[in-house]
Every structure is written in structure tokens, then in C-alpha cells.
């Protein structure tokens, strides 16, 4: 294939990008998006602070716009994200206990119901594990409602949209380490108890090196019986950027249950990582060496 999406499709994978819906009216942006990518995820518009700004008052305008663009252009949609400790609306930040738990599960139900049938995979829960060596949960208002908040969210999401794959998504999980092992143990537990989980997302916000056991880590999750996806890929610029992009792509292709790769933006200037110039297209929309490395690996 001569585009990312065509080459990925030949291997049975998708190739996606995070989209800021406000840029869909910029032709230089949308030209690249439509030519190269066949999956999209909202960079911010489907987060709790965006779509439930007041309790019980939902605003799906940004997400709906992205879904419409995807449907008109043959793209699948990843949903990001139903519950997360960050980018919560102020009203939820101020809640705790049963009231917060109920509000959170209602959020999951209402949002997953709104998009029912339109989402390939939902990041049901994002970034719930702690960094460092503990392997345990991150402290958050959601965690303080009880350790079962994650499984409650997955059950509510399944009930609301039985056709969507339900993912757990996190970062600093790019090799076999205490954090990824904590998540691995949760997924194994969920599978053994019948908690509905279908996939694990590896954000893969990367620096100047890649864990040597990146592929092995993806594989150990796949061996639990879940799909895996690279969900927010971006790589710090430098001598290794193209090599790392190529290696991540090859790792996904080597794991049969790795169903797709998403970069967290389109052009360097669209990226949340700013001067890291972390994406596949430069600010003028030109293909970078990293683009060639991905296409070559696919
Ligand atoms: C980032 C967005 O790219 C920014 O625009 C926003 O200001 C903050 O969030 N992990 C995630 C994403 O799961 O939702 C984050 O997106 C990047 C880190």
C-alpha cells in the first residue's frame, strides 16, 4: 500500500489518528487525515469535562461531529474515554463516595448509549494505575469510591453498547514493568471472573528509546485473551524517532491480536507534545522519515 491505511489494511489492521474536531474545517489537515488514516479518536471531545459539563446535561456536539466525519469517510471510531481521573468536570471533581460512583456509572451508561453501535472500541477506563514500583492503583476520587469502580464501569459499558470492544488504556506500560504487570493481573482477574473486557490500549507516548520487551509485553496481554492496540503513539524527535516508530509497528504486526495503531495527532504542530515534534507529518504536512519507517514496516 502507498498510504498508512492501505498498508495497514493489507495486514488486517487499522491505522488511526487522534483528531481535534475544530481542525476538520482546515483542508490541509483533513486532506492528510482522509488520505492516510481509517480510524479516529477524539483528542478531547469525548472526555467527561467536554460531554457532561453540568451533571446530567450532556453535550455530544464535538463527538457527534467526529463520528459523522468518520462515517462519511469509511473510518472506524475509538471512544476516548468514559472514566479518567483527569479532565473531569468541576462538579464531579467535587464529589465523592456513593454520589460520585453513581454519577460516574450514569456517565458511562449515558455516553455509551448515545454512541451505541458507532464505536469500534471504548477506552472505558483510562490511566487508573500508579506509576512507579507499586503495581497498584492510582489514587483518585474514583478510586476512593471503592476498588470495584473499574469493573462496575466495564459492566455498565457492556450493558449500554454490547457491540463495542471494551478496553483498559494506560501509559508507561511499554515493557514488562510493575505498572504493566499490575494491569496484567487485573485483566487476568477480570477474565477469570467474567468481567467484560476485550482489549488493552498501550498509549505509547515514547521518548528516545523503546523497551526491549515491548513486543513481549503486548504478547503476554494477548495471551490472556484480549486484543491489544497502540492507542496514542507519539515519539520524541531525535536520531531514533524513525527507528522507534518502525519498531513499534513491527511489534504490533508480530502480535496477531494487535488490531491497530493510532498516533496522537496528525502533524507535529497538532501534537500535545509541542517541540518534541513527535508525529509522522511535519507542520507543513510533509511526510517525515518516521512516516517512511512506518510504511516500510507495514
Ligand atoms: C491530551 C490532549 O492531547 C490535550 O489536548 C489535552 O490538553 C490533555 O489531554 N493521555 C491521554 C490523552 O489519554 O487523553 C491525553 O490527551 C494525553 C495523555
- For the CA of 20, the closest atom of ligand 1 is 5
Average pLDDT over residues 39-45: 98
Q: Which residues are catalytic?
A: 127, 232
Please give the grid coordinates belonging to residue 1.
500500500
Residue 35 pLDDT grade (very low, low, confident, very high; cuts 50, 70, 90): very high
In this predicted structure, what is the pLDDT of residue 1?
A: 82
Give 140-155 pLDDT, tens digit per residue: 999 999 999 999 999 9
Among residues 182, 60, 183, which one has the least CA distance to residue 110? 60
Whose C-alpha lies nearest to ligand 1, atom 12?
Answer: 43
**How many whole angstroms from 43 Cα to the centroid of ligand 1?**
6
Bridge partner residues of 287 (DSSP): 281
Average pLDDT over residues 70-74: 98
Cis ω on the peptide bond leading into residue 290 (within 30° of 0)? no
CA distance 77 to 39: 6
Q: The complex's ipTM?
A: 0.99
Percent of the chain having pLDDT more than 90? 99
Average pLDDT over residues 253-273: 98
- For the CA of 47, the closest atom of ligand 1 is 14
36-to-28, 32, 70, 124, 263 alpha-carbon distances in Å: 13, 6, 13, 27, 11
Residues with CB under 6 A from ligand 1: 43-44, 126, 203, 232, 272
Give 172-207 pLDDT, tens digit per residue: 999 999 999 999 999 999 999 999 999 999 999 999
Among residues 248, 240, 228, 233, which one has the least CA distance to residue 279? 233
With a cut of 90, say whether residue 234 has pLDDT above it. Answer: yes
Collapsing DSSP to helix, strand or coil, 124 comes out as strand
Collapsing DSSP to helix, strand or coil, 260 comes out as strand
Among residues 169, 182, 252, which one has the least CA distance to residue 210? 252
- What average pLDDT is seen over the chain? 98
**How many whole angstroms from 81 Cα to the centroid of ligand 1?**
10
Amino acid at each position: 500500500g502507498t498510504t498508512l491505511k492501505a498498508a495497514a489494511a493489507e495486514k488486517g489492521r487499522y491505522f488511526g489518528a487522534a483528531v481535534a474536531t475544530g481542525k476538520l474545517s482546515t483542508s490541509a489537515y483533513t486532506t492528510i487525515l482522509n488520505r492516510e488514516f481509517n480510524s479516529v479518536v477524539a483528542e478531547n471531545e469525548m472526555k467527561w469535562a467536554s460531554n457532561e459539563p453540568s451533571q446530567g446535561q450532556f453535550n455530544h456536539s464535538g463527538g457527534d461531529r467526529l463520528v459523522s466525519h468518520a462515517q462519511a469517510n469509511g473510518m472506524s471510531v475509538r471512544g476516548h474515554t468514559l472514566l479518567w481521573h483527569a479532565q473531569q468536570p468541576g462538579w464531579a471533581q467535587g464529589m465523592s463516595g456513593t454520589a460520585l460512583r453513581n454519577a460516574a456509572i450514569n456517565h458511562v451508561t449515558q455516553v455509551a448509549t448515545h454512541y451505541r453501535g458507532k464505536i469500534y472500541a471504548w477506552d472505558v477506563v483510562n490511566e487508573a494505575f500508579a506509576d512507579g514500583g507499586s503495581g497498584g492503583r492510582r489514587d483518585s476520587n474514583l478510586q476512593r469510591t471503592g476498588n470495584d469502580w473499574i469493573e462496575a464501569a466495564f459492566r455498565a459499558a457492556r450493558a449500554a453498547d454490547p457491540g463495542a470492544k471494551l478496553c483498559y488504556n494506560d501509559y508507561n506500560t511499554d515493557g514488562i514493568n510493575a505498572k504493566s504487570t499490575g494491569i496484567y493481573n487485573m485483566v487476568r482477574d477480570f477474565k477469570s471472573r467474567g468481567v467484560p473486557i476485550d482489549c488493552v490500549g498501550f498509549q505509547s507516548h515514547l521518548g528516545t528509546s523503546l523497551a526491549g520487551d515491548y513486543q513481549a509485553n503486548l504478547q503476554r496481554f494477548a495471551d490472556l485473551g484480549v486484543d491489544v492496540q497502540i492507542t496514542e503513539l507519539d515519539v520524541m524527535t531525535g536520531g531514533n524517532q524513525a527507528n522507534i516508530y518502525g519498531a513499534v509497528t513491527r511489534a504490533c504486526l508480530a502480535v496477531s491480536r494487535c488490531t491497530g495503531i493510532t498516533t496522537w495527532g496528525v502533524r507535529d504542530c497538532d501534537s500535545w507534545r509541542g517541540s518534541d515534534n513527535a508525529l509522522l507529518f511535519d507542520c507543513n504536512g510533509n511526510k517525515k522519515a518516521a512516516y517512511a519507517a512506518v510504511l516500510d514496516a507495514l
